[in-house]
Amino acid sequence: MRLFFLGLMAAYLGGNIYIFIRALQQISGAPMVMRVLFGILYWVVAMALFASFALREMSLPASIGRVLFAIGSTWLVFTLYMVIALIVTDLAHWLWPSFKCGFWIALAVVGVVLACGYWNYRHPRVVKLALEIDRPIEGGTMRIVAASDIHLGEGTGRKALRRYVEMINAQSPDVVLIAGDLIDNSVVPVVRDAMCEEFDSIDAPIYMVVGNHEYISGLQRVEELLSDTPIRLLRDSVAVLPNGVQVIGRDDRSNRHRESLTALVAKTDTTSPIIALDHQPYNLDESEKLGIDLQISGHTHRGQVWPLNWLTDRMYAQSYGYRRWSNTHIYVSSGLSLWGPPFRIGTRSELVVIDLKNK
């Protein structure tokens, strides 16, 4: 994993060097002072994301943390698409020397793509499913509203969370299930802005499992934070709802000593419906073999931006959406919000509404 992140960092720096050289070529006729100032500004922006991570546990003014994160995360996606666009325009210039203004054309195209991606992120859709199971639900039906990967922090703040809570309440849920990564990289901005007060407005019981970002944020601090909210955290435990439906909450696979799914199913009444919450969608065939009625996962974001969705589609047997595995229904959500860059390109943010019924 460390080598993977070192590789990503090297690619990011290499991409920025490429863009920087091409940008300097466009202003080669400008005075030296302007070019030096441009270089300083460019690399301050390019390093902003690393600075926001390094300073995330410090009690900085809210505006500084937000600005660093917003600039740095936006630049991350800008770098990806600008490198792709420049390769295309530079290749076009090599094939047709008369092709001019490739840098500015690339810049304009990337600007349009990012604007569309931001709009896409700001307008999550509601995905509705009607699923039937064999085990009896008291009352015959229940409505589950499921969310994952909200990533509260400098990127997704209290105002955005308020909109998400309004979306959840509009669906009239019987229960709300959060499939991990509620917190982004630190609890500091969440506590500072009292974000979790928004959950008091949800008109249904809330159950949640931890994701890898709860471990990144400091699991003990996350547990302390959630203890003062209506959210019930499930870590390798089972909750029984008033209608008899059982919710298994698995600890994230970041915990190498978490209980097996077999051991958790052994804690349930197998004559009643079983829902499993597991943040990362690995070993889905195990859920099928154990006869779980419904599993909800997240984590993948489905890559969040193209072409990373191609990668996640190959990493996971089910990287996104609904699939029926024998008698087990599995849904992997792309996430209600996202990590880092505020863009959805080739993917969608979503809230999942599942009407679970008896056959």
Tens of pLDDT, residue by residue over 77-121, are 999 999 999 999 999 988 888 888 889 999 999 999 999 999 999
Using DSSP's 3-state secondary structure scheme, residue 263 falls into: helix
Average pLDDT value for residue range 337-347: 92
Q: What is the dihedral of CA 265, 266, 270, 273, to 10 degrees?
A: -30
Query: 335's torsion region: left (phi>0), alpha (psi -120 to 50) or beta?
Result: left
> What band does 20 get if pLDDT is binned at 50, 70 and 90?
very high
Closest CA to 109 of 145, 82, 128: 82
Average pLDDT value for residue range 158-165: 96
CA 322, CA 219: separation in Å to the nearest integer? 30
**CATH 3.60.21.10 for the 124-358 domain, yes or no:** yes
First to last CA, the chain: 44
Residue type, 141: T
Average pLDDT value for residue range 45-59: 74
Asked whether residue 1 carries a pLDDT value surpassing 60, the answer given is no
Alpha carbons within 13 A on the beta-carbon side of 276: 36
Q: How does the average pLDDT of the chain come out, rounded?
A: 92
Using DSSP's 3-state secondary structure scheme, residue 66 falls into: helix
Give the CA diameter of the chain.
78
Average pLDDT value for residue range 326-347: 94
Residues with Cβ < 8 Å from 288, sequence gap 6 or more? 325, 326, 327, 328
The predicted structure's pLDDT at residue 58 = 63
The neighbour count for residue 145, using CB atoms within 10 Å, is 24
CA 297, CA 278: separation in Å to the nearest integer? 5
The predicted structure's pLDDT at residue 101 = 86
Average pLDDT value for residue range 271-297: 96
Residues 305-326 pLDDT 10s: 999 999 999 999 999 999 999 9
Structure tokens that stand for 188 in this block: 């500091």
The predicted structure's pLDDT at residue 98 = 83
Residues with Cβ < 8 Å from 60, sequence gap 6 or more? none
The neighbour count for residue 13, using CB atoms within 10 Å, is 13
Residues with Cβ < 8 Å from 75, sequence gap 6 or more? 45, 46, 48, 49
Average pLDDT value for residue range 247-252: 97
The CATH 3.60.21.10 domain(s) of the chain lie at 124-358
High-pLDDT (> 90) share of the chain, %: 81
Confirm if 82 and 23 have CB atoms less than 8 A apart: no
Query: Which pTM value belongs to this model?
Result: 0.87
The neighbour count for residue 15, using CB atoms within 10 Å, is 19
> What band does 209 get if pLDDT is binned at 50, 70 and 90?
very high
Pairing type for strands 125-133 and 328-332 reads unpaired
Site of tokens 């509009």: 170
Average pLDDT value for residue range 280-285: 95
Asked whether residue 62 carries a pLDDT value surpassing 80, the answer given is no
Closest CA to 62 of 47, 52, 48: 52
Using DSSP's 3-state secondary structure scheme, residue 358 falls into: strand
The predicted structure's pLDDT at residue 60 = 61
More confident of the two residues 267 and 48:
267
The predicted structure's pLDDT at residue 55 = 66
